[in-house]
Amino acid sequence: MRIGIGYDVHKLVEGRKLIVGGIEIKHNKGLLGHSDADVLIHAIMDSILGALNLGDIGKLFPDTDMAYKDIDSKILLSRVYEIMVSKGYEIGNLDSVVAAEKPKFKDYIEEMEGVIANILKTDISNISIKATTTEKLGFVGRKEGISAEAVVLLKEKN
């Protein structure tokens, strides 16, 4: 078994769609980034890559490479999944949290869990997504951005 942790932050800006957990969420702002800036999927990818001791998503998918400009992060997660499988691992379980003052994520969590479970080819019961605020503290509390953390346990495939 191997464990990994991931963390990501993106700034909220006008003129972009808000994509979190692989789905579009209605909001007046979106996240700024080279890709679609899906903060949750980025944290999940980093947790898997960390568990495999392969660095982070910036190493695999650099923001200086135009091939990844505005790319759907679900595609990148699929590539990380393929790497994980090629190394002989599968998801044991994944626990994650998204921090934002607005929007509220509770109505989207089940759909996000389903999207991520599908990409990682695991049962939805192995995927946990929680949402929180920062009680109006810091950049998240000022509604300037959204952060996400993920922890994953990988197990060797039978």
Q: Where is the binding site, in residues?
A: 8-10, 34-35, 42, 56-58, 61-65, 132-135, 139, 142
Burial of 86 (C-beta count, 10 Å sphere; 0-12/13-18/19+): exposed
119-135 as b/e: b if 16+ CB within 10 A: bbebeeebbebebeeee
- What CA–CA distance (Å, rounded) separates 148 from 119? 19
Quote the CA–CA distance of 24 and 11 in Å, as a whole number.
16
Residue type, 146: I
The four Cα atoms 11, 134, 102, 21 give a dihedral, to 10 degrees, of 70
Annotated binding site for a divalent metal cation: 8, 10, 42
41, amino acid identity:
I
